Amino acid sequence: MFSEAQNNKRQTTNNKPIFITGIGTGIGKTMISAIIAEALHADYWKPIQAGYEEGTDSEWIREVLDNNESQVHPETYKLKLAASPHIAAREEGVRIDLDLIEENFKKIESRKLDDGHRSSTIGQRSSYILEG
């Protein structure tokens, strides 16, 4: 399906996080994350979900991904207010602990390395998308 050069290029992107960010709500960060996660068979993690009246971004990503390799990891924080995370946290009286986010990131990262070593398809699910 892929040429040798394309396979080599895919292998070099393995195990590297891709951080999707943008300013504003509704500009397409989640859509782009889904497209990239599907194309790379990458995992998805949104550390802080701010606003989830109509469902979370992680739930939507889980619904639209067609491959069986990508995993959607749970948010570290889910805030009700649809605003930037620092404003939503302040309004809801939540302290965002960056150390906890980093700890969760390391858990995801180490799991991915473990999966790669145990799997016969090393590198297939080694990229991951972080949406901020």
Residue 78 bears catalytic tag:
no
Catalytic residue of the set 46, 80, 106, 107: 46
Q: Report the 3 state secondary structure along the chain.
A: CCCHHHHHHHHHCCCCEEEECCCCCCCCHHHHHHHHHHHHCCEEECCEEECCCCCCHHHHHHHHCCCCCCCEECCCEEECCCCCHHHHHHHHCCCCCHHHHHHHHHHHHHHHHHHHHHCCCCCCCCCEEEEC
Instruction: Show which residues are catalytic.
Output: 46
